Structure 1
Amino acid sequence: MQEVEIKYRDEFCQRCGEISCTLNFDEALQTILDNIDRCLDVQASAIHLVDPGSQTIAPVAVRNLSSDYLSRYQLRLEENPIEQEVLKGKVITIADARENPTYQKLAESEGIRSILCAPLKAKERIIGSLWLFTRTVRSFDPGELSYVTTLASQAGVVLSNAKLYQSLHALSEIGQALTSRLDLSEVLQMIVEKATQLMGGKGASILLIARQGETLEVGATWGLSEKFLKKGPIEIEKSLRECLDHLLVIPDVSKSQDVQYPEHLAQEGIRSILCTPLTVKERPIGTLRVYLAYPREFSAEDLELFQILADFGGIAIENARLFNHIKRDYEDLTQDVWQWYDWGKRAPSI
């Protein structure tokens, strides 16, 4: 282990500096694998990331593994006991994959023998796992395990930063697209679609305050069934009233007393709700809600991105409403002008 550190420490530190500045997510993934494989003398590797919205984990980058590995290895977290342990912060080793029932097929198809798996951590939150594979049976010593843990932590931070940049770039494009549209229904539909994608949700809705101010009316939805949408009137005082004032997270709706129609939420497969007010000139006009299929806690970055999207949405809604108002005024004025013109062409009757 000491020889490994001496031989590759300087180069790896230099590489760490390079990948820490890398904001391209895919490039960061591959650079991490290239450097870790070289530093630890392993023959193959993979990075698996968790999808909180679907509670699955899947490879997003591999080195020296077949394309089949990428396509077939997408598992629900409860189906993989080793991933569960790694996501608790543990480092797992398998001396010979041929003797492990879970990984016998992998050993045969990829020529894998020993496996080392470590958590990818970013800001005290585990976002995935780093997998290292050897083609011969190998025992990893405590020094190597410690080294891998350190490298995985560095990789987690790099990936988190790159992912945040990717999300911000996508959000910028969404903002430009939203503020350039003037059809209100198109604006509302785009907001719910992008909110679902950005937050990894099951669906989303925009609920606008009705004229009488006591209920919320559906402005647009994405990914929700007709049965769920026809559940009944949405009363402001019974349906997350606080959401009209500030961003609100319901990590598990089954444990919340503030949601209306809990049985319909359960039937729709909704376990978590993220909602925030839609405001125009600092006045709430409704809420943007994202529905998730699993209980989930959001990072500060996730919540900030969601709030920015809602702010873009409020601006876009106001622009579309102003345009529609001006358009109606113009059409009314045009009609009046033509009436006056038509009246002027005829002699007055006496």
Structure 2
Amino acid sequence: MIERVETEELERRHRELAALNAIANAANRSLRLEEVLEVSVEKVLEIVGADAGCVLLIEGPSRRLSVWGVRGLSPELVERLATMPLDGEHWQREASFDVRDLWRISDSVKGIAREAGLGSCLLLPLRWESTALGILLLAGDGDRALGQWSMEFLMTVGEQLGLAVRNAQLYREVQRELAERVRAEEEIRQRHRELSALNAIAATVNRSLDLEEVLNDALDKVLEMMGLEVGAIRLLDEQGGTLDLKVHRGVDLSPQVVERISRARIAENPPLAEALATGEPWIMEDVSALPVVRLIGRRDLKSLAVIPLTSKGRVLGTMEVVSLDPREFTTAEIRLLTSIGHQIGVAIENARLYGYLERQLEQL
């Protein structure tokens, strides 16, 4: 009799160790949290003979449970579990969850599961050291005995899954940190490119104090940097009601067309009016339907950026750059163009001042 009991105990231990090894292999197959939980739940259900189950992870910031690896549970039950609040008298709003909270959470989950008509229900805590991670929910049809496994075995299953969950969470955190670091490094590289571009523009516009030369050099450099072919610079007239075309690139215009577009009335040109009124870049994704585009005969023009040219808080004119393909100007490009607009505006102010002083000297 004793030998038979011992044999049965050894067989049970052997069965449980084999089961634990199979669950560990399944849980450690991946470091992706979703895959870890999908495979783990499926393997545990297969081994313990449960009909349905899932893993409920504690989401501390949202004070909710997230549901993973769902097998055999109704969508209604999953929804109720996912919306079960972890607050009230048992949990302080600012407090973190510890292992003791798992038992209170388990009681709430068990009540919801019973209301949903689940038969035999088993809840295993998932933890890592003293940190509460979540719960493994297993459900049977009542005829199949979830109780055939020892409590030691079931708790070890919970510990194995808890460790796998924690490893996957750490992996996700590391991946997130790496992604943030990559973004930060890209931001640094982008800023370096912007500074280099601004330095190139400054070197270009400061080569001369002749206004026409400044405008031509500035537009050429901006188009080169942006990889564009079409652009123009307009300056406000003394009355401030029109923008006079000073330089343009990328379009062959007849004298008649130049005459018609050389003075743009601000009130009749929404893109120019918007940029002048706000002092901010104005972007238009498709300009092919604008009257001026039809006038110059370039239906292939697509995206437009109008950049105010500013100095000492005043708008002196605009720079317009146009792409031949649909283009979404990025935040970084708009930021760069805004800074370039300020640099060109300062150069225009300096060239005008220089011209004024030259004229004054000539009159002496």
Higher relative contact order (CA 8 A, sep 6+): 1
Q: So what's the TM-score if we normalise by structure 1?
A: 0.48
Q: So what's the TM-score if we normalise by structure 2?
A: 0.46
